[in-house]
Structure 1
Amino acid sequence: MSPFPLLLLSLLSSLHVSLSGPVATEFIYPNFTASYFHYVDTNGVFLTSRNGFFQASMFNPMAQQSSFYLSLLHTHTATVLWSGNRNKPTSDSGFVSLTAAGLSVLDQNGTVLWSTPKLSAPVEAARLLDTGNLQLLDKSNSSLWQSFEHPTDTFVSSQLLPAGSYLSSSVNDTNLAEGDYRLSVSTSDARLAWIGQDYWRLSNDVRSIKDSSQPVLGMVVNTTGLYLLASDSTIVFAVSLTQSAFRVVKLGSDGRLTIKSYTSVNSSSPISGDFIAPSNDCDLPYICRSLGLCAISGNSSTCTCPPLFTTATNRSCLPGDGSTLASSVSCTTTDSTMSVSYLSLTNEIGYFSIKYMPATTSGPDISMCRSLCSNNCTCTGYFYDNSSMSCYLLEKNPLGTVFSSSSSSGQNAIGYVKTYVGSVPPSNPTSSSSSSHTVAIILPVIAAALLVTAILYILFVRWKKKEKKKAIGKSKPSPKNIHLGQHKSSSRDSGYTDQEEDSTDDVIIPGLPTRFTYEELEAITENFQTKIGAGGFGSVYKGELPDNSLVAVKKIEGVGVHGRKEFCTEIAVIGNIRHINLVRLRGFCAQGSKRLLVYEYMNRGSLDRPLFSHVGPVLEWGERVEIALGAARGLAYLHSGCERKIVHCDVKPENILLADGGQVKISDFGLAKLMAPEQSALFTTMRGTRGYLAPEWLTNTAISDRADVYSFGMVLLELVRGRKNRSETSADNRPTQSDFSDNSSQTQIEYFPTLALEKHEQRRYIDLADPRLQGRVTDEEVGKMVRIALSCLHEEPALRPNMASVIRMIEGSLEAWEPMVKSLNFLRMYGRGFAERPEPENGLGFSPNFNGGSWTGTSSSTANVSWSPSHLSSQQLSGPR
């Protein structure tokens, strides 16, 4: 080979080396510059953290050669964690520069596209930590600026997303500019929004548990889950996740918030069980573009256009009649040829933001809602809820995706999309003066005529009401003729007094669920033919709605109730509570003196049936744990997830309902608030509450959510044993037919909590397990559940865990508490009381005459003790909120 080619190869080799700068480790210093062209061999990477977990790079996503960003990457997954110049990309000839003034990105001409703000001292170095945080340091190694304080669309383990800050999605995978979705953290919650419209909140996610009401300092992820923390590190909201050493929280360009978890920082494959919010495709606000109709189909979703709409070229949906959407017409338009019209969505089509926005106004007339939208140029449509008479205006924002719903979705509002249609010819200019003169004469005449008509109409309505009172009433409706959410409560009932009819006719409270007349509920339940249960508040009957969905109709009976308006106010609160472990209230009836509630139907009935019955399949241990976990989650939401705290006051197996698919739901929550104040003291003696009430019900101690924790502890022990805590056994140690039968020489009374305490002290937990399990549970599993239960039973309410902690103990993310025996010795007194005086007991589970320690009841010869604690307020008795 001739010397010339060798010389040429040598020159090219040296040129290549000069263009490929060495990758720095952990630190770079002022007067440093880098471009993709200089670091082409390392794909733009010019700095790595000490252990190589993270990289700083001039990054071009998806090989877009015209778009380069100063980015921080997770080395093993190439995930972009942060970008500096996300809104102003540069070319491959652009470069990043570090000077004493700070960090900046410039184009090939030297124009600054992005830079750090003015700093308080000269920069001595830039440092990339093994946490993924890029810092600018002064001469004392103090941080002048750091990337963790300026997040883009991602944050990672050990990084705090402070209250008041937000993540902003990218436009797409190749364009890292700010998109339309945001995850914002406030002092009370975390929420996802699309162009200002909320579509997810952490507080509403069934996977989250609220543990405190303190102001939120910020959001973090760590080895155990996702948390909103207060300034003293107290957990405000928690989402438990699979144990993981490293997590990446990213807001995607489609609006989904995803948490990917890895076994270590240098792992390249995430572990299974990613957290995704929202979990339902159709909860995304723009998945089907503007006005596209999203419907769930199997494990995916489909997009179509609603009736009366047609598909546009950009896959959005436009009015099929050729009219123009109001969002396409500026408020500044003065075109007199355009007139306002509305296209109706069906009553099975919902809109994502209605779930989170408050009603604009309320009133019985839908025309009022339409008028508000017509007179507001920024309004693009409205939804009107017939059952609550609430009006929701969609304004100032573009219209997103709608979704296919049903009566079971809980959204009764019907939507109307505002359009501009037609061509109204302008008036003849030559006759404008004459027309104005004519209008000036005619308008006062019309106004006077309308006023007279209105007065006559009012007089007619009053006369009609008086006539109605004399009528016997119309025939009962057929279930198939009932139109959910499109009628008002009837006032025809004979128990409805004249004064009551005048003062409460058509109570209007935003947020009420569907109202039924008593006649409609008679038809739905076939005249209350099928009784499926009974509780302290009344009997429950099976019914079927016109859409063929089953419901449970509860007749509130045997206790006084609030007046109609107060009743409806409480129903509005209960009806708006949504949680996967709480039975949903679908409707109500407040007609005359009748009060009925319509709930979703749980086909397996209450927990006491499979747990205490000795016929049918036994509940396996895994099922019992899942039931405990579901019930605990429901109670935790009542205590800390609702806008107003609700103490259940009657936690027991009869109020824990089951359905196919492993569904577990708490029922009868909030019902104590429905009783009239003078009746609330009776709650302590209602049927089915014996054995579950906490000791503080008989003292001057205020009733708090820890009373529910005590009751839940009693339920846990019954789940362990498979029998009532206070039961009787025969001579051969088998349970008798009735757990509360009269004592005889053939039976002995057993108080299981006392036995559980004794076995705990001996650490012999397996002896406590339901014998029907026949060894299909370990001593360790039983011991964990017993320790949790006993911790819930501490005599002092402050020593009991809250329900959020109980959940974490059952899940295993928190070590089960060690019960304090000193605070459980009162259980031994209860046990001795059973053995020595087997008389009918009161709510606490011991004989009314039993006097042990400081707890003394009032003597009674009946099973339902008529004891009224005058020192407790009705607020305490009915459950603080």
Structure 2
Amino acid sequence: MATTPDASSWAALLLFLLLHGSLSRRTADAADTITASRPLSGNQKLVSQGDKFALGFYRPAGGPLSNWYIAIWYNKVSIQTAVWIANREAPISNPDESQLTISQDGALILLNQSKSVVWSSNNVHNATLPHVNNSSKEAMTTVAVLLNTGNLVLSDASNASHVLWQSFDHLTDTQLPNMKIGWNKATGASTRLVSWRNHYDPSPGLFSVEMDPGDNSQYVFLWNNSIPYFTGGKYDRNTGAFSGIPEMTPMISNSMYTFQYVDNDREAYFMVTIKDDSIFFRLTIDASGQTRSTVWMEDRKEWMLFFLQPKAKCAVYSMCGLFSRCAESALPPCSCLKGFHEQSPSSWISGNYAKGCVRNVDLQCRSNSSAPKKTREDKFYMMNNVRLPDWSRGVPAESVGDCKAACLDNCSCSAYSYNGTCLLWYTDLVNLQDSLDGSGDSIFIRLAASELPDSKIKKWRVVSIIVGGLVALACGVTACICFLRKRAMQAVLPSTADGRLATFKYSDLQLITKGFSEKLGSGSFGSVFKGVLPDKTVVAVKKLEGLRQGEKQFRAEMSTIGTIHHINLVRLLGFCSHGVQRLLVYEHMQNGSLDHHLFAKNAGGLSWSRRYQIAVGVAKGLAYLHEKCRDCIIHCDIKPENILLDASFVPKVADFGLAKLLGRDFSRVLTSMRGTIGYLAPEWISGMAITSKADVFSYGMLLFEIISQRRNVEKGEQAGASMFFPVLTAKKLLEGDLLLFLDPESVDEIDLEELERACKVACWCVQDAESSRPSMGEIVQILEGFVDVGIPPIPRYLHVLAESADHAEISVSE
């Protein structure tokens, strides 16, 4: 029998709905708040009222997968950009089992999976927190709220104006609007910016910005908390700018921001305020020691730089570390001195040069009585037109010879300079820079004798003795020719020992290549010949064909390409511009090109491990071209013939930057690929704009061939999807059976995880849509196991290539 609800039932229902609505609103209102009973964990995040900022667990892009931090970032910016990090020196490994919560004593604390305190607003470290009683009155007295200014505030729950702690008092590397850089005169506490250690590690780095302790009206940049290297000068209240930055004055009058300087009895500080709160503005000191003021451009989806200090990279103290030189116009700006090498090559590749360089060979001090008597005395390498390093010491000397002797007599002396005054350096060399105006000094770097060849004078004596002996044996004519040939070759090589690009004469290149008689091969841009320099260095000389640029533009391009140095890129040593002739001189690769090792009849000399490392090396080289150079360099011709191997089988990408020399007409590149199931991305065929993703496609096709050690379609075989290796690989990936098409004898030596990783990467690289292909930087991370990737779909374009392989050549008109 049905019943009708009475009045008491309706009242109970109404009370439930009211309570439920109240609780729901409280939960929604608390999206920006942490309490003892509502901690933060896993993928949860706080969002400020106004949605401008978010707080949660954060991992820097490209950093270790196990390093997580509590961070504040912009909530509406598509590129996750951290502006504050709590535990920058103590990352956690498992955010799902960690908590950001309120402790019993009212502090904001971060607990790891072991319930140990790894960070606290009260600076409690490495302590084990006792069990928190959520009903404790003390634990409920404070709350942490994320404000829409980006400030995380810990305050009394019953009185929000009673602030106990705030993130704006504990800056990291970023200054936001309304953040203060200065100091509290009563407590002596200061607020300053400290850089990250590198792009992937937010722990405190070497560089910082703070108010000058000796002069409150200016700020100062410090290296290692001790050595000042830049200041903007004193603040002028009348102009609103710093005396050392006059260009700041017109910027202030019509700027989106206002710069403030306050100095009273309680505190002194600098602060920036924004006139329009919808603008996302930040000032950051980066790992290279420069501060960058940037604004988010929503239409371009990127941060736009509008202010940089100091402007010169080389003005940053120890920018390039020890025993290096800084060249403002070079890219990268840092290079090791002759006789030295990078202490941490991986750091240099990522753009962090702080660890500097170390000697190749230890010095042999002549005052060392234990040294063998036959040990040759240390020598000196002269560098001209440089700004001398810091920390020199003057000693009495009447001549450059006396100055040199004074350095040799002291085992701690690493260099000397003489210009009427003798300067010695007893410490590691730091801040050695190229002089931009040509008014620099000369310095002599001390090296072990084995690092420097015998002088030319001694070589001439040997040549003279040989010529005299030949004349005595009545071979005067032959001896004279040889003598003249030797003398000409001595002048061929402009000094490339310091890493600078050399300019060759055409006659010199004819001489060292013996009239271009020994051809190493030919490629998309011309023929390559073997040459030998006077110091017995073997080089490869490429004769460019089809070049349309004038000499001035060609030299400008060469100066750019010549500054690109990476272990996986063939190094350009010099060039020649003679009439219409354009020639390039490269380092010679002893093991030739990759195709000879992959596709030769007796192939098999490359183990799986070596082939995998070649794939990783090629990816790193392309990632450097795409992402680390000043302008993105698209190769446009990635194939095994353009991958060279040195004596240790380290892969080096050749011919990078040459496509640009031919202008926007890439017909020469495409003609060289005619007749192959090759390496062309579909956008070449469709006429779409060419981006770095075209190189990614070509890399994917190359990777298929590295995996299989054969052309994607062998000559003489029927093509079609059934025999086309890329399609076969994609199908076997979906079926989970990659071993089916491998040689049974080689299965045991193959790392199956690496094989699956390589096959996935290859298939993702050749996706039809550019947006579906990974970047080369992402490919490196996947191949090295830092990032996992799913199974890709089979691209339609692979079927098109397979089915047309035996019927038509791939060609593209201009």
What TM-score, normalized to structure 1?
Answer: 0.46
What TM-score, normalized to structure 2?
Answer: 0.50
